[in-house]
Amino acid sequence: MNKYPPECPFCGRYVVRPETTKTEFGEILSGRCNCGAVYVCDPTGHNAGEAYMEALALARGNWEIELMGEDIDYQTKDMDYDLKTHMKIYSAGVSEMKRKLIFVKHGSQNTKDSNRLSADSSQENLLPVTRYSSSSLKRHLKERIKDALISQSYTEIADMARNDKGVIRHLISLAYEKDEVSAWRAIEAMGVVAGELSKEKMDVVRDTIRRLLWSMGEESGGIGWSAAEMLGEIIRSNPDEFADIIPIVWSFKEEEMFRPGVVWAMGRIASVRPDLVRFILKDMQHMITDKNPAVRGYAAWTIGILNENSFIEDINKLTSDKSLIHFYQNGDLAQKTVAEIAIDSVKSMIYKQNK
């Protein structure tokens, strides 16, 4: 493993060690480069999604991430980083690859902006500290959400969201690590929240949809790692209202990083409104032969839900595929082989055919 002094990925200057920064949501490890880029450290590798959202908030100057306009151009970069030695890591082992230093910069930021930002280098003044006066807010909102995810109390999270749009931002950040069950429950909770808010605050839900779609686009730097899955849950919560979003989500199948989530989202929508996603069948031949085992597994599962018997022979070819993938179902995250999913899919279609 090689280590070198960390440099800003935007301007090449060496950056100083991130320091404790006070914000309205607690303390984070952050810094600013002279070029105007801000950076946040995730020293454990377990909160990278949250660190990205914090870096975006620092770049913006407030924490209303879901209100950022689609015309705002942000660039994001990250590096593997060791906080203890303040070194950039190359050729890190698996256990260290997730330790990140995450950078965000306004894509349109000019020299004048950079000079103004670098002149104000006081870490304590980056964002205001909120002094909570109500005893009901003593516990950090994020911790309350985490507790509710553990118990799968999604209606409780929806109740929080009625009074605080910050809940949506936290759910997005908590959905980053998709090898953890809590991330998938955050994804699932987003659907419940959207379903409840769409009854009285449709504008908030539509803004969230726009924000998630933006996060998947090139102008965002492709930071929407779980956006496709969350969009699937939002659509699933109110398919008649959000049917117009389905083709847009499906169009992201062309992006390799989003393809597994897009196919999974289609399966979730199909479980409540198969008629709205049957148009994807013309593309599913490519999905079940994709090089990514997650795409193959989710495709087999989705076809089984759609009960498309013309694919039985093709899915049968996957019943010897021993590739392991994460598979979230009924509140639990398990590792399943593509073969196991394919076998269940074929059995389901044959059962429905003979019923």
Tens-binned pLDDT, residue by residue, of the chain (355 aa): 567 889 999 888 889 999 988 765 567 899 999 998 999 998 877 677 777 878 888 887 755 544 444 445 678 888 888 888 888 887 544 444 468 899 988 765 443 344 433 334 333 333 333 333 333 343 578 889 999 999 999 999 999 999 888 899 899 989 988 989 999 999 999 999 999 999 999 999 999 999 899 888 866 565 778 999 999 999 999 999 999 999 999 999 999 999 999 999 999 999 999 999 999 999 999 999 999 999 999 999 999 999 999 999 999 999 999 999 999 999 999 999 999 999 999 999 998 888 7
Rounded distance between C-alpha atoms, residue 263 and residue 213, angstroms? 16
Rounded distance between C-alpha atoms, residue 318 and residue 268, angstroms? 21
DSSP string spanning 42-99? Answer: ESSSS-HHHHHHHHHHHHHTSS-GGG--TT--EEEEEEEEETTTTEEEES--TTTTT-
Token pair 């949250």 is at which residue? 50
DSSP 8-state assignment for residue 173: H
Token pair 């890190």 is at which residue? 92
The encoded tokens of residue 209 equal 């949809």
Which contiguous run of DSSP H or E holds residue 312? Answer: helix 312-316
Angle at which helices 293-306 and 338-354 cross, to 10°: 10
DSSP bridge partners of 326: 335
Token pair 């689609």 is at which residue? 70
Rounded distance between C-alpha atoms, residue 147 and residue 294, angstroms? 29
Cβ(208)–Cβ(239) below 8 Å: no
Domains (ranges, CATH) in the chain? Answer: 2-120 (no CATH), 139-271 (no CATH), 277-355 (1.25.10)
Cβ(139)–Cβ(15) below 8 Å: no
pLDDT of residue 220: 59
3-state secondary structure 179-226: CCHHHHHHHHHHHHHHHHHCCCCHHHHHHHHHHHHHHCCHHHCCCCCC
Rounded distance between C-alpha atoms, residue 138 and residue 133, angstroms? 8
pLDDT of residue 28: 86
Q: Which SS3 state, helix, strand or coil, does residue 19 take?
A: strand
